[in-house]
Structure 1
Amino acid sequence: MPRPPMFQRATVTRVIEETADTRTFVLAPHSGPFTYQAGQFCTFRVELAGEELLRSYSMSSAPETDSELAVTVKRVKDGKVSNWMIDNLAKGDEIEMTTPHGVFCLRDDTDAPLLGFCGGSGITPVISLAKSALTGTNRKVRLLCADRDRPSAIFYDALAQLAERFPGRLEVVRHLDSEHGIPTAATIQEFVGNDAGADCYICGPTPFMDLVESAWPGPGKLFVERFGAVPAGPAAPETAEDKEVEGTVTIILGRKKISVPRRANETFLESARRGGLTPPFSCESGTCATCMAKLVDGEATMRVNEALTDDEVEDGYILTCQGLPKSANVTVRYE
């Protein structure tokens, strides 16, 4: 039975300076080595000025090639956690983190080429996927890495070395804005070429990902990893936001159970908070599984789901930050 990822402590064994504003943290979980898949991420919990903050960062390591677990963090303007980690976290320090999770992973039922579209730090999960695919399969891998300039390009040398190890199977195309301007739809389509049937993995700033998605010719399968805000679909009319509708939402969290009247367009997470509960959550964008719960009565839908597998959804699990009641009376239980 799937469980929400639980927090545990890990020790920082090394800190690697990738660029001026990017660090890789090599971690030793106190519970022992994690089992994970390339492309997954961990959620970190830190307390700053009395405020508990949760942030998710992708692993740049791959289980097939790396004996140590590593996550790579880029400094974000006004980013409380990324700035704190880069400025303060050192060898020997401890930090709280979850076990790895996420569905931005390789398919094991295909030999299709893998195309990676990486904007800036979006290379982090994609280099993990590339190492896994090159080592564990016979698939060809082609990466388009878009960066502001050469000094800001993460894993520049690591990818060049990886290409040398796998000649004919790994191609890395560097698009530097300082030399070529920002990528366009023509840039994307030219890179795709004859590989429109490939599995396409996209990660990076939202405008970059939107560009790739809109320019992708298909019919290959798209995989998108978003850690920023994800559009939640059409907004409800302002007059209906707080309108109560027929039915009741019941939330069970540990020994606590609350029931509140349904409100139009209110997620289960919002209903839980309105009822006085403090359930677990992190991204609130449907990309992590921290807020997952099980639907035990009634029907529900999700605006966005980039964290739960099809099997988990079939078993009744939902992301409460994106889950909406579909029937009048609904009950969900955090496990």
Structure 2
Amino acid sequence: MTTSLVAASGHWTDDEALECVSILPETPNVITVCFQSPSGRPFDFKAGQFLTLELPVPGGPLYRTYTISSSPSRPMSLTLTMKAQSDSIGTRWMMDNLKPGMTLRALGPGGRFTAADHPAEKYLLISAGSGITPMMSMVTDFYDRGRTCDIVFVNCARKPSEIIFRERLEHMASRIEGLDLRWVVAERDKYKPWTGYQGQFNQLMLGLMAPDYLEREVFCCGPEGFMTAVREALAGLGFDMEHYHQESFQAPGTPGPELVEAPLPEDDLPEEDVQAEILFDISGVSASCPETDTVLAAARGAGVAIPSGCTFGVCGTCKVKKLEGEVHMVHNGGITEEEIEEGYILACCSNPRGKVTVEL
């Protein structure tokens, strides 16, 4: 199907199929698919929104939702960037079968994960893996305006070679004032030096990357576990969660229903008006405190000495063994998963829940 050079009146709507015009490989198992409307109509959406594609897989149509990675400032085409997971059906079908010239039905666009609905002087964008796609759309939109901005852009990936859009983002950052890129990787690429952050994104990194994070509008996108960790880290630092937004949507199972944005999950965080009780087993001392107090603060208030250093969950000096009960712990690398499984906690960043007994 050939796209008309003269756009029809009005914008594209989902009563018209999308035509695939090109497919660009990004990183291993990641592609960007570029679509145009066969009628030539331009696209109208907000940066950060998503589309739901109807995929003609064997056994019947499959509906899969993808964030738009292109910007509304470039309306003559629309791109979707997708990563095939090990259990992927829809994305794998697209990688194996979709070719330029083919058309797909789509629903949308939809979603409220967009800076357009939350204007601010400063933004903090935090993403992991393919969660970078809505951030790419928003940053490109800011870039195309040609004005200075104040954006700290954090992206986490397994390796430097798996950072999606890295070259394009670095080019934009070199051409516009106020776009500050921060990459975090779990491991290095072989034979290539890495001078950025390495490890798991945490509160300490956040403080170094964006010291004024409390003043920023935060957008987060990535795997559910990653977004939960970011929410807990921000909440633990006293961030006003009214200014936190994450991409969360559910795709319709059949054609027709309106795209629905899922509500932000309610995290089970410590509450100031809920009391906890800590028993220090060896000392024979017990203490009552709000859930928002740390085990370390409660111990000091009760006269029980716990060695401590950074008080930020990094050094591991305050590591103690929990014998009973539950705590809410947001650490910054000072304890291993094996130690946590054995019952150890960091007293400086653990909040007691209900009755807790520690070996002191």
TM range (shorter): 0.5 to 0.7
218, 221, 224: which one aligns with 1:200 = 218
RMSD across aligned C-alpha pairs, in angstroms? Answer: 2.7
SS in 2 for 1:209: helix
Unaligned runs of 5+ residues in structure 2 are: 1-12, 189-197, 266-360
Instruction: Judge conservation of contact 2:32–2:82 (CA < 8 Å) in 1.
Output: yes
> How far apart are the structure 1 equivalents of 2:232 and 2:128?
15
Instruction: Judge conservation of contact 2:48–2:114 (CA < 8 Å) in 1.
Output: yes
Cα gap change, 1:140/1:127 in structure 2, threshold over 3 Å: closer, same or farther? same
> How far apart are the structure 2 equivalents of 1:291 and 1:182?
31
**Superposition pairs of residues 23-102 of structure 1, within 5 angstroms:** 23-31=31-39, 32-65=41-74, 67-102=76-111
Cα gap change, 1:227/1:176 in structure 2, threshold over 3 Å: closer, same or farther? farther
Deviation at 1:109, TM superposition (A): 6.7
Match of 1:290? 259
Unaligned runs of 5+ residues in structure 1 are: 230-268, 282-288, 293-302, 307-335
> How far apart are the structure 1 equivalents of 2:206 and 2:107?
35
SS in 2 for 1:200: strand
133, 139, 148: which one aligns with 2:149 = 139
TM-score (norm 2): 0.60
In the alignment, structure 1 residue 226 sits paired with structure 2 residue 226:
no
Output one character per residue of 1:238-267: Cα deviation in whole Å (capped at 9) or x when no partner.
xxxxxxxxxxxxxxxxxxxxxxxxxxxxxx
Deviation at 1:6, TM superposition (A): 4.3
Counterpart amino acid of residue 140 in structure 1: D
Output one character per residue of 1:160-198: Cα deviation in whole Å (capped at 9) or x when no partner.
1111111x3111111011042222232234323113211
TM-score (norm 1): 0.64
9, 17, 25: which one aligns with 2:17 = 9
Structure showing greater Rg: 2
Cα gap change, 1:108/1:135 in structure 2, threshold over 3 Å: closer, same or farther? farther
**Superposition pairs of residues 68-217 of structure 1, within 5 angstroms:** 68-107=77-116, 110-136=119-145, 138-166=148-176, 168-179=177-188, 180-216=198-234, 217=237
Deviation at 1:139, TM superposition (A): 2.9
Name the stretch that deviates more: 115-124 or 63-72.
63-72
SS in 1 for 2:127: strand
SS in 2 for 1:54: strand
> How far apart are the structure 1 equivalents of 2:148 and 2:225?
32
Q: What is the percentage of aligned positions where both structures have the same residue?
A: 25
Counterpart amino acid of residue 263 in structure 2: V
Match of 2:3? none
> How far apart are the structure 2 equivalents of 1:99 and 1:109?
20
Counterpart amino acid of residue 18 in structure 1: E
Cα gap change, 1:215/1:192 in structure 2, threshold over 3 Å: closer, same or farther? farther
Output one character per residue of 1:299-331: Cα deviation in whole Å (capped at 9) or x when no partner.
xxxx8379xxxxxxxxxxxxxxxxxxxxxxxxx
Output one character per residue of 1:14-46: Cα deviation in whole Å (capped at 9) or x when no partner.
111111211111101235222111111110001
In the alignment of these two chains, the number of paired residues is 238
Instruction: Judge conservation of contact 1:72–1:124 (CA < 8 Å) in 2.
Output: yes
SS in 1 for 2:109: coil
> How far apart are the structure 1 equivalents of 2:88 and 2:222?
16
> How far apart are the structure 2 equivalents of 1:17 and 1:222?
32
Cα gap change, 1:176/1:291 in structure 2, threshold over 3 Å: closer, same or farther? closer
User: Which structure's relative contact order is higher, taking Cα pairs within 8 Å and 6+ residues apart?
Assistant: 1
